[in-house]
C-alpha cells in the first residue's frame, strides 16, 4: 500500500519563504497564480532538464508510468533500485518523515549506492539551488545510501567561478558535488520540517505581505494576500 505524504520539495521551499504560502500550498493550492514570465522559466527549466536526461539513454521514467499517482512513486522506485544492476531512473520517488521528493536523475551504482543529480537551468550555483538539493538529500539519504549528490547547471559562456569544476564529457553541463555540505544540514532540516508540520496543524496564518513575497521567488499567492489587504482597507 502506498504511503501518504504531507510535504514535498516545493512545499518545503515555500515554507522556508513564508508560512502562509506553505499553508495555502497544502490546503488551497488552486489560489496560486503564475505570471507568463514564470511559466516561460518553468518551460526553459524543463527543456534543460530533458537535455541532461538525454545523456542517459537507458533511463527509466517513473512519471511516464505512474503519471499523477505520486504516492506510488516511492514503491516503484524501491523495486527498481532493489535489482542488483546499474540503473538510471528519472523522477525517482523517495518518502521519509512525511516528505516526498522526486529526483530528476538517479544512477544506481553496482554497489547499490546512488549518484543523484538535481538539474537547474541557471548558470550559477545559487543558494536557492542549494536549499532545493538539501531537502532532497535529507529524504533520499534516509531511504537509500548516497554515493554523491550533485547539482547540474548550465555552463556559462565564460565561467567566473573557478571553484566550479566538472569533468562531465558534455560541456553544456556543469556538475557540482555537494554531498558533504548537504549531509551537514540534516539537523536543521529536521527542525524545519517539525515547525512546518506544526503550522499545518492550525488555521491559515495571518502573515502580512512584505519583501518575503518576492525573495527568493515571486510568491504565487501574492494576489490572494493583497486582496485580503484591500478588503480590510474598506473598513
Q: In this structure, what CATH number is given to the domain that contains residue 164?
A: 3.90.320
Burial readout 184-223 (b: 16 or more C-beta within 10 A, e: otherwise)? ebeeebeebbeebeebbeeeeeeeebeebbeeeeebbbbe
Residue 106 within a domain? yes
The pLDDT assigned to 167 comes to 58
Residue 2 within a domain? no
- The residue whose grid cell reads 536526461 is 53
Burial bucket for residue 126 (CB in 10 Å: 0-12, 13-18, 19+):
middle
Residue 85 within a domain? yes
Residue 93 within a domain? yes
The neighbouring-strand residues paired with 90 are 61, 105
Residue pLDDT tens, the chain, 235 long: 556 899 999 999 999 999 999 999 999 999 999 989 889 988 998 999 999 999 999 999 999 999 999 999 999 999 999 999 999 999 999 999 999 999 999 999 999 999 999 999 888 888 989 999 999 999 999 999 999 999 999 887 655 444 455 556 677 889 999 999 999 999 999 999 999 999 999 999 999 999 999 988 899 999 999 886 444 433 3
| Total number of domains in the chain | 1
- The residue whose grid cell reads 528519472 is 90
Residue 1 within a domain? no
Burial bucket for residue 24 (CB in 10 Å: 0-12, 13-18, 19+):
buried
Residue 81 within a domain? yes
Domain that holds residue 129: 7-233
Amino acid at each position: 500500500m502506498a504511503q501518504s505524504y504531507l510535504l514535498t520539495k516545493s512545499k518545503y521551499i515555500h515554507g522556508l519563504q513564508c508560512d502562509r504560502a506553505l499553508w495555502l500550498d497544502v490546503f488551497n493550492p488552486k489560489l496560486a497564480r503564475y505570471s507568463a514570465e514564470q511559466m516561460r522559466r518553468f518551460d526553459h527549466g524543463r527543456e534543460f532538464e530533458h537535455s541532461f536526461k538525454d545523456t542517459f539513454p537507458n533511463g527509466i521514467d517513473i512519471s511516464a508510468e505512474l503519471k499523477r499517482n505520486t504516492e506510488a512513486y516511492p514503491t516503484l522506485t524501491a523495486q527498481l533500485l532493489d535489482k542488483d544492476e546499474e540503473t538510471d531512473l528519472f523522477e525517482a520517488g523517495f518518502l521519509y518523515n512525511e516528505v516526498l521528493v522526486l529526483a530528476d536523475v538517479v544512477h544506481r551504482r553496482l554497489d547499490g549506492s546512488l549518484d543523484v543529480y538535481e538539474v537547474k537551468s541557471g548558470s550559477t550555483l545559487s543558494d536557492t539551488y542549494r536549499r532545493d538539493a538539501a531537502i532532497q538529500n535529507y529524504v533520499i539519504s534516509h531511504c537509500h545510501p548516497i554515493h554523491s549528490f550533485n547539482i547540474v547547471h548550465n555552463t556559462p559562456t565564460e565561467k567566473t567561478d573557478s571553484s566550479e569544476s566538472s569533468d562531465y564529457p558534455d560541456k553544456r553541463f556543469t556538475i557540482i558535488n555537494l554531498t558533504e555540505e548537504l549531509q551537514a544540514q540534516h539537523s536543521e532540516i529536521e527542525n524545519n520540517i517539525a515547525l512546518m508540520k506544526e503550522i499545518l496543524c492550525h488555521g491559515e496564518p495571518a502573515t502580512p505581505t512584505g519583501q518575503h513575497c518576492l525573495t527568493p521567488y515571486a510568491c504565487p499567492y501574492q494576489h490572494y494576500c493583497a486582496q485580503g489587504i484591500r478588503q480590510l482597507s474598506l473598513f
